[in-house]
Structures are given as C-alpha cells and as structure tokens.
Copies of this chain bind each other. A is one copy, B any other.
Amino acid sequence: MRRRATLEFWYEFASTYSYLSAMRIEALARTADVELRWRPFLLGPIFATQGWTNSPFNLYPAKGRNMWRDLDREAARLGLPPVTRPTPFPQNSLSAVRVATYGADQDWLVPFSKAVFETSFAKGGSIAEPAAVGRILDSLGLDGTQILKAAASEANKGRLKVAGEEARSRGIYGAPSFLTEDGELFWGNDRLEQAIAWAAGDRPDGLR
C-alpha cells in the first residue's frame, strides 16, 4: 500500500491567517488524501530576528487596516462566521501554544487548536490567560488543570523552543506556513491549495 503524503501545517494562535487555514485545511487535505501534521509554534522569536517587536499589522497601520477588512472578506467568502478582533492584538499565545506543544501527539491537538482559533477570532474571547486556555480544554472534556501544569514543565518549554528553531532553520518567516516532505515551503493561507496539491504530487509544469 502506498504511504500517504504528509503536509506540515505550521500555525501561530495569534495569527489571523493561520485561523483561516486552520478552519479549512482538514477538508482540503481529506479530498486530496494528504495527511496533515499540525505544528504549533511561536512567531514572536522569528519576528524578533527580523527586527520586529510587534505584529507587522501594527507596525504598518495601512497594512493592518486592510488586513482586518481582508479578513472580513475572506472569512465571508470561505463561509466562516463574522470575524471578531481580539483586544489587544496580537493576543499573547504563549499559554495556548505550550498546551498545543504538549498535545502534539494527542488526538485532541486539532480540536483544541481549532477551538482556540474560534475563541479568538469568531467568539471574541481571550486566549491569553492560562485560565482561558484551561476553559477551552475543559469544554473539550479534558482536564484543563492537569494539562496546563504539564504544559508549563521545563521539558515542554524546551520542546516549544526547539520547534521555533526548527521553523527558522527550515526557512519559515511567517504564519501560516506549509512544508512538504521534499522541503517545499508555502507561506500564507493563500497558498494552502497549492501546498496541498504539491504534497499530493501535483506540480506546475516544468517545476520540480
């Protein structure tokens, strides 16, 4: 039996366009028979190496204004609910990404990740405090208190740090990003379809 192709989905919980990808990537991957590997990471350290101490959408106000309008348009086009804008933006995603890192091999990683994105961008809720992340875990029938504690361990913090170093070393500079098994890097929700096609072996003519 042929092994299914895998696509890595690198996402950051504070990232608006990661939200759009998270809500639609499963259906696209299923149709193309591509297996997904969800890779939560922190964008802040990568932005810091680029000299950014804030989201580019805040650093460049005209870009930020249009991003929110574009997000409204894209959410509507993709059939998602109206977008809520987190305050402050970007939200502190440290607690959520620690939990996702801890849950990397758990079957709750995907439902948890989608619930975090929905809380932030569709329900107007905070994801910044550990208690908010704990409530999301509880709502999924998990033990929020226990998972938060395990996620705050030094071993898990180390895993998160290694994931960030891996992201940077593999050329990732923003989120969402998609990486195929042969190292092809696609950046942005706009490239999700192309990334899935590439992973499935469908490449534009003349490229390899």
Contact = CB atoms under 8 A, between A and B. Distances in A.
Given A72-B207, A73-B207, A207-B76, A60 B187 contact: no
A70 B187 contact: yes
Interface string A105-139: 00000000000000000000000000000000000
A191 interface: yes
Interface in A72-92: 72-73, 76-77, 82
B204 A62 contact: no
Contacts of A206: 76, 82
30 contacts: A50-B60, A60-B173, A62-B168, A62-B171, A62-B172, A62-B173, A63-B173, A63-B174, A63-B187, A65-B171, A66-B171, A66-B173, A66-B185, A66-B187, A69-B184, A69-B185, A70-B186, A70-B187, A70-B191, A73-B194, A73-B204, A73-B207, A76-B205, A76-B206, A76-B207, A77-B194, A77-B204, A82-B206, A188-B190, A190-B190
Contacts of A184: 69
Nearest to A205: B76
Nearest to A79: B205
Contacts of A60: 50, 173
Nearest to A174: B63
B174 A76 contact: no
